Amino acid sequence: MTITVAGEKKSCGAGLSIARLIALENVETPEYVTVSLNDEFVEQGAFQSTVLHEGDSVEFLYFMGGGQI
C-alpha cells in the first residue's frame, strides 16, 4: 500500500501501525511526538492499535514552548 509520511509517498506492507511506523522512520524522541493522521490528532495511547490504510497521510509534529525575552 502507499501512504504519505511528512509529505513523501512511501510504500509499506498492510497492517502497519503508527507505533511501528514511528520506529521504521527513526522518529527522534518518539515519546514526545504528536501524530496527525489524515489531519486528525491520534492519542499517544492509540499508536499501537491504530493501523494505517491505503492513501493515509501521516505527519509527525513536535510542539515547542517559547517565551518572550
Model pLDDT, residue 25: 95
User: What are the cell numbers at 35?
Assistant: 501524530
pLDDT in tens, 23-45: 999 998 899 999 999 999 999 99
CA pair distance 28, 68, nearest whole angstrom: 27
Residue 55 in this model has a pLDDT that exceeds 90: yes
The model's pTM is 0.87
Q: Write out the H or E segment, with its range, that includes residue 42.
A: strand 40-42
Going from the N-terminus, what domains does the chain have, and what CATH number goes with each? 2-61 (3.10.20.30)
